Amino acid sequence: MMAALKLGRTQASEVDRNRALASSPTMAALDRYTGVLYDALDAPTLAPAAREFAGRHVLVHSALFGPVGALDGVPAYRLSHDSRLPGHPLKKHWGGAVTKALAGAEGLVLDLRSEGYVALGAAPARAESLFLRVVTEAPGGQTRALNHFNKKSKGEFTRAILELGQDFGCADDLLDWAPSAGFRLRPGAPNELELVV
């Protein structure tokens, strides 16, 4: 199990945490998950109205539970999109279920997942279903994707939308709003938007 979860010798407690899933206390997905994106989102400081909006509009892709609502209770656990569970490939397990869950979303679907999680289940293929790619521009105008700042920017972008509390009906509405909130958002490759930082 340690190898499957990519844990070192000092992280054995993570396996114990997984064993206790059925009886573990839970907290809202927005508060449970950690990392660069969640630090930038800073969910604990969101106003109640912004959290309520997140509960109605945000899904978080869990490697263990699939798509969960932002305010759904999630226990502490250790599993990521690239964990290798013997005899249980996550892509095979989640592919159809994730795609079905996301296909049920109405209106604009903005996919902020990492490409690793996208590989576990695609968002619906339709005009108003778009992947958000965070990029930067070199002095010569060339565009390149970002890694660490990708996550930070997605967290800040998500927070701004939650604080606004507006349900964007289409990509054009989102593109029109972005500059007023200090974001440079533009159409990218087919079915993509680019957040330029």
Residue 14 lies in a domain: no
Residue 12 lies in a domain: no
Q: What are phi and psi of 6, to 5 degrees?
A: 60, 50
Residue 160 lies in a domain: yes
Residue 19 lies in a domain: no
Q: Which residue has the tokens 């109605």?
A: 56
Residue 134 lies in a domain: yes
Length of the chain, in residues: 197
Residue 9 lies in a domain: no
HSE value, Cβ hemisphere, 13 Å, CA-based, for 48 = 0
What's the pTM value of the predicted model, to 2 decimals?
A: 0.85
Query: What is the domain range of residue 174?
Result: 25-196
| Torsion over CA: 61, 63, 64, 66 (sign) | positive
Residue 20 lies in a domain: no
| Torsion over CA: 157, 162, 165, 170 (sign) | positive
**pLDDT (tens place) for every residue of the chain, 197 residues total:** 545 455 556 565 666 666 677 778 999 999 999 999 999 999 999 999 999 999 999 999 998 898 999 999 999 887 878 777 677 777 777 778 888 888 888 889 999 999 888 988 889 888 899 999 999 988 877 788 877 789 999 999 999 999 999 999 899 999 999 999 999 999 999 999 999 99
Q: Name the domain count of the chain.
A: 1
Helix (H/G/I), strand (E/B), else coil: 115: helix
Identify whether the C-beta of residue 61 lies closer than 8 Å to the C-beta of residue 53.
no
Residue 58 lies in a domain: yes
